[in-house]
Structure 1
Amino acid sequence: MYWLFSFGGAVLVGALLTYLLSTSFGRGEDLPPATRGPLEPEHRAQLEQAPVSADSVDNVRFATAVRGYNQQEVDAYLRRISARLAEYEARDTAIEIRGEAQ
């Protein structure tokens, strides 16, 4: 009788582990495209071809997906990039002004 309970417990633990691991890591299938819908080509063109500036980094928007990146981490990194671009733009403007004054 003891072996029957042991076998049942092992099956239950195995099923639970299989469920938890497949839920956590997925089934190994390829992920679908991140954005779908009628505006996808326009959105991708804007992301790939628009000029990059501090303002464009501040205003960029990405489509969300179930298995995407952590939104807070992406936002924090984009804020760093935007601040650095603003510094470069200000430095570039100052150099241009000095060049015109000479």
Structure 2
Amino acid sequence: MAWIKNLGGFLDFLSLVIVHAPDDFPKEDYLGDDEQLTLERAFLELRDGMQFVAPKVSGGAALNALQAQLNQVLALYRQGDDVKGAHLLQDFEQRLLQEVR
């Protein structure tokens, strides 16, 4: 099930990830256990959702920088550095909002 269907959905989903990452995602009763959000599933969804960000940013370099930052956030969470991961994810959101035209 795709959670993100447009840029607005991407921003909404990003807010959900900011609040709940890395391991406090809400359990949705309408989803099976194998469909519940996890850190890995959330970041896969964000990476897939970047398709809606791409046409709205100023160029390829900006898009690459955003994608790299998102990958760095996931790496920090995987390493157990939740505080740095959360701060960098918030920085990602600010940068994204500045880039989107």
Q: Report TM bin, short chain.
A: 0.3 to 0.5
TM-score with structure 1 setting the length: 0.33
